[in-house]
Amino acid sequence: MELNATFGTLLRSIGYSLYNAGARVNGSQDGQAFGGFDHMLNIVTIGQDRYLVDVGFGSNYVPTVPVRLINDTNGFTNVAPASARLVFKAIEGAANPYHKLWVYQHRIGPDATWKDMYCFHADLEFRAPDFEMMNYWTSTSKKTIFTQRVICNKMIAGEDGEIAGTLGLMREVKRRVGKDTTVLAEFESEEERVKALEEHFEIVLSAVERAAITKTGDEIH
């Protein structure tokens, strides 16, 4: 939410018209299906068209371009060979099968299956108090990944300036370019993880930030 809120402020400052929407993330890989609202989106209006602009969904699945709100069965190239698309449909598990939502889908390659990433109602505007409640849950509940994992992601630009891959840190540092994945670093202690953040992401944690990880679910003992 902090990432999309900051980017939304930047877009407004240079003259774009936008509002925010809330999304339900699909946690089916963890057996949870669509959960409650826990993700922020920017909906940008240009002329008669609206676009999904999302910079806060992690480096592996985040849409890397503004996505026009149309029911698109073809999709667009995301971080090759992956692709993504928006479809308008009823979500699985809904008690009301007539209610359709925008669903952002992703697939890892042209022969892979499309997977639902999150869903949202483009006409339901969320405001600051809504995100305060959502942010309180995601930053305090032990059921969310954000209180159990230290996560860091960034994009890798190719020679043509387009996004060619991703660099991610969770329990290790992985570099993904195309179909190739390389483990750049593994760590078994907080000291080693702090070193990996500095070396691969140029992020230097202060003493206070290092102490904040102590006694949390993701502390490496």
Asked if residue 219 is part of any domain, the answer here is no
Residue whose tokens read 């699909």: 26
Q: Are residues 18 and 40 in the same domain?
A: yes
Residues of the domain holding 60: 2-139
Does residue 27 carry a pLDDT above 70?
yes
Q: Identify the residue with better confidence: 62 or 215.
A: 62
Express as a percent the part of the chain with pLDDT over 70. Answer: 98
Closest CA to 108 of 64, 78, 65: 78
C-alpha to C-alpha distance for 86 and 217, rounded to whole angstroms? 35
pLDDT of residue 193: 94
Domain boundary among 110, 139, 168: 139
pLDDT above 70 (res 28) = no
- Say if residue 7 is in the same domain as residue 87: yes
Kindly report, residue by residue over 135-163, the tens digit of the pLDDT: 999 989 988 888 888 889 999 988 888 88
Residue 149 makes CB contacts below 8 A (sequence gap 6+) with 170, 217, 218
Q: Does residue 166 share a domain with residue 127?
A: no
* pLDDT of residue 74 exceeding 60: yes
24 and 98 in a common domain: yes
Question: With 50 as the cut, is the pLDDT of residue 7 above it?
Answer: yes
pTM: predicted TM-score of the whole model, two decimal places: 0.88
Whether residues 30 and 132 fall in one domain: yes
Mean pLDDT along residues 74-87 = 92
220 belongs to a structural domain: no
Domain count, the chain: 2
- pLDDT above 80: residue 29: no
User: pLDDT tens digit string along 32-56?
Assistant: 588 899 999 999 999 999 999 999 9
| Residues 85, 26 within the same domain | yes
Dist CA 176 CA 163 (whole Å):
11
Domain shared by 191 and 97, yes or no: no
Q: Is residue 144 part of a domain?
A: no
Structure-token match 């059921």, residue found: 143
CATH number at 122 reads: 3.30.2140.20
Do 8 and 104 reside in the same domain of the chain?
yes
For residue 218, being part of any structural domain is answered with no
pLDDT at 32: 56
Sequence-ordered alpha helix ranges (H) in 63-117: none
- Whether 22 and 110 map to the same domain: the answer is yes
Residue 129 has pLDDT above 50, yes or no: yes
